[in-house]
A and B are shown apart, each in its own frame.
Chain A
Amino acid sequence: MYPRRRRAIRGVTILEILIAIFVMLIGITGVVALFPVGVRLSQMSADDVISAMTAQNALAAVRLQSGLLNRVKPYVADDNESGDVTAWNGTKSECVEGFTGSVANVGTPAPGDTKLQVTCAGVDGRSLDIRAAGGGREMGDNCALVLMTSGNVLWKLYRLDKNATLTQFASGATVSTCTNFPADAIVTGDTFRLIGARDANKVLATVPEDFYGSGPLDPPYELGQGAVKEYGYLAIITRVKESTSTFRVDILVFKGYDKSLPPEGNLPAIACYTTILSSDMLK
């Protein structure tokens, strides 16, 4: 009878254990990495809900501001109301959504660059959307925005894009000059709104009104100055060109700004809403 052989079982080396731990760590790290993403998405959802409530309050405030609405002057026709936007991407203009036109002499773009030229005198009384739909920083290209003021005009430029990282809110009253915004401040998908441009010689030209207020998380509701609010809104009110009794209200919702100051500078809106009010609805 042979003695029973005990089968030797090999152990696991420390190197194998370390590898196993390393692999496990990679897997767990992937799972853990999902938590901040979830938190961020949840915060975005919260912002969306608060934005909707903020916009609701903003619209209510606008509807109650009879004095404010009376200051919004009706549209006055301008001789230069057409041909106000020119854009191109290197050799073609189709890259800029919604705009076509001939290439203006505001510089020679490099291939792939996107350039917009806006003649302020030509947007008198209108709220003009300008969207950069081509080029962009992530592609290594530039999107340039050039404002050409062919007369003494008063203009305001708002960035409407929700995800903009560099916001260039601007305004000015200049005579026959050209304002070049930094090319790297504009990226693909950015949307700007140019309003309030007017010819100083036209006294009755349209002047949109700005109206600031707080969001729904700031009781008691007040319009006092100086308080830092977590959420706030800017309502831009313009009369619709086609009807003097109709108002267009653009509501931009901001997060984390002092409502005593216009939300200018590098503060992008977290949401944008547009609605139409008829004077019949305003009492």
Chain B
Amino acid sequence: MNGPSKTWSANGSRRPRRRAFTFIELIVAVGLSVILLRGMYTVLHSATDLTTLSEEKMSLLLEASAIFDYIGADLARVPFSGQRYLSVTSSGLIFKASSRTAGDDVYIKYEYDLGGKKVVRGVYKDQGCTVAEDDDGDGHNDVGMVIGRSVQSFDVRYHASGDIDGSWNTGSGDPAKNTRAIRFIMKLSSMIPGASLADETFTIIIPIMSL
């Protein structure tokens, strides 16, 4: 397409004057812009979707990792020798942990709140969980601490046999004496509003080697 032609002004001046766009030229330019913008929108939309999915997945991964790290750190406090206490149910566990101060035993409990879709941690003075305990010494009882949100399911089993492909149990036997590992299976959903990522299920095995 040729550009606008140069003309002379009406008063005879020698300054060249260019004519404006024709309607066809404007339509062509707008059409090209629309095509380009449409293509860019498609690419950006796909890229944004992928980025959002990746962010959701990372969020889930990091949350699961943090929860398991927290539980693992607590389970590392199971007494190496002496009296042990460990009770496992299908949706939680309570165990005797080493004390903050000598002779001051504490019990840590993890429990799944089905209604609230969360995992709650509490520290108590006895296995009956009747008296709360200030484990970290901040002056407040450590109960009701939410360590996992948007938890769709939380399954806990203990392992006592000689091999890992043996049985994983809950609520039976005497886990206090011979438990060698705890297995957690947790299903998390994304907490990002409008998330499109499906629930992800994680499995982690935490050994208890202090027998």
Contact = CB atoms under 8 A, between A and B. Distances in A.
B206 A60 contact: yes
Is the interface on chain B under 10, 10 to 19, 20 to 34, or 35 or more residues? Answer: 35 or more
Contacts of B32: 18, 21
Nearest to B57: A46
Interface string A1-32: 00001001011111101100100010010001
A32 B47 contact: yes
B36 interface: yes
Nearest to B24: A14
A32 B44 contact: yes
Nearest to A3: B11
Contacts of B85: none
A8 B202 CA distance: 72
B200 A10 contact: no
B164 A45 contact: no
B4 A222 contact: no
Nearest to A13: B3
Contacts of A221: 168, 183, 185, 203, 205
Interface stretch (B60-68, B97-105, B120-128, B130-138): B60-68
A63 interface: yes
Nearest to A40: B54
Contacts of A220: 185, 203
Nearest to B9: A8
B51 A42 contact: yes
B59 to A, nearest CB: 10
Interface in B18-40: 18-21, 25, 28-29, 32-33, 36, 40
Contacts of B33: 21
Interface in A31-89: 32, 35-36, 38-39, 42-43, 45-46, 49-50, 52-53, 56-57, 60-61, 63-67
A264 interface: no
Contacts of B15: 8
A18 B25 CA distance: 11
B43 A38 contact: no
B168 to A, nearest CB: 8
Given A11-B21, A35-B44, A60 B205 contact: yes
Contacts of A39: 47, 50-51, 54
A56 B72 CA distance: 11
Nearest to B40: A28
Contacts of B163: 64-67
Given A63-B207, A66-B162, A217-B200, A42 B68 contact: no
B51 A11 contact: no
B47 A64 contact: no
A170 interface: no
Given A28-B40, A64-B181, A5 B205 contact: no
A67 B18 CA distance: 91
Given A11-B20, A64-B164, A219 B203 contact: yes
B58 interface: yes
Contact of A217 (B55, B183, B202): B202
A39 B185 CA distance: 28
B204 A64 contact: no
A8 B3 contact: no
A53 B206 CA distance: 11
A45 B58 contact: yes
Given A35-B51, A219-B203, A221-B183, A49 B18 contact: no
A15 B1 CA distance: 8
B201 interface: yes
A203 interface: no
B109 interface: no
B195 interface: no
Contacts of B48: 35
A67 B162 CA distance: 8
A61 B202 contact: no
B112 to A, nearest CB: 15
Nearest to B68: A53
Contacts of A219: 185, 201-203
A10 B4 CA distance: 9
B159 to A, nearest CB: 7
Contacts of B40: 28, 32
A217 B51 contact: no
Given A42-B55, A64-B163, 11 more contacts: A13-B4, A14-B28, A35-B51, A53-B68, A57-B205, A60-B181, A60-B207, A63-B209, A64-B180, A216-B64, A220-B185
8 contacts: A8-B18, A11-B4, A21-B32, A49-B62, A57-B203, A217-B203, A221-B185, A283-B180
